[in-house]
Structure 1
Amino acid sequence: MKDEGGKELRDLRARTKDFALRVVRLYQALPKGDGVAQVLGRQLLRSGTSVAAHYREACRAKSNPDFINKLEGGLQELDETDLWLELLGDAGTLKSSRIKLLRAEVDELISIFVTMIRKIKSRG
């Protein structure tokens, strides 16, 4: 999960924060006069920024079960974020290329979180 200096944890901490900032910027780019876009955007903003918060909480976990619980919370937020991105794309609110990039990052973060959870669970 991490090397002796905690490098992997720090890298993922920065990556989840960067993801949150990308979600914030996408929200800021949504049309202000489109009520549906704003409602979906607020949901996206909440779930997308929560991923970094869940990961930071996991880094402070006192036990493996607590660590897993926090990561699983992050997984739920990632899945929800993917839904809001999908809906924004299907509604034609933003360019699909911008949404595709964020959805690709969602998929990668899900894979990372799932791998971390499996490693911890396999240790017993």
Structure 2
Amino acid sequence: MQDLKLRTKKFNLDCIAFCKTIPKSREFDSLVRQLIRSSSSVGANYRAANPAKSDKDFINKLKIVEEEADESMYWLEIFKEILFVNDEENERLIKEASELVAITVSSIMTVRKRLNNNR
């Protein structure tokens, strides 16, 4: 499996590249900014989770990763609907966001289980 730190960074870079293909308009500009913001937060918060001070801190940072990946997926779905795009890159990014959410949720559950077993 690809290192998640690199994978989350690549997701952000790929979303930025996708946003460069969006027509420039006042309406799309705010959506582009939202996608860039949320996708960059995925990688930044995953990176911040790694040196977490405790399991609870780690979980809190991963919850942000989960939320931001899900939000990124939302913006990608919006672009798909309003631009009527059904291109491979949009679909790939939606799939990647979904996989990042699933991986993050699984990691959170694993750490929570370990915390509960240590009580």
Q: TM-score, normalised by structure 1?
A: 0.86
* Counterpart residue number, 1:18: 10
Q: How many residues align?
A: 115
* Counterpart residue number, 1:88: 79
Which ranges in structure 1 are unaligned for 5 or more consecutive residues?
A: 1-7
Quote how far apart the aligned CAs of 1:94 are. Answer: 4.2
Distance 1:74 1:40 in 2: 19
Quote how far apart the aligned CAs of 1:96 are. Answer: 3.5
* Counterpart residue number, 1:106: 97
CA 1:19–1:83: 2 relative to 1, 3 Å? same
Task: Describe the SS at the equivalent of 1:123.
Answer: helix
Amino acid in structure 2 at the alignment position of 1:46: R
* Counterpart residue number, 1:54: 45
Which ranges in structure 2 are unaligned for 5 or more consecutive residues?
A: none
Tell me the percent identity.
Answer: 38
Contact 1:20 1:48 in 2 (8 A): yes
Coordinate RMSD, CA, aligned: 1.5
Pairing 1:27–2:27 present? no
Contact 1:30 1:94 in 2 (8 A): no
Distance 1:11 1:97 in 2: 23
Distance 1:15 1:62 in 2: 23
Deviations 1:30-89 (A, max 9, x none): 112x22222111100000111000100101101000000000001110111111111111
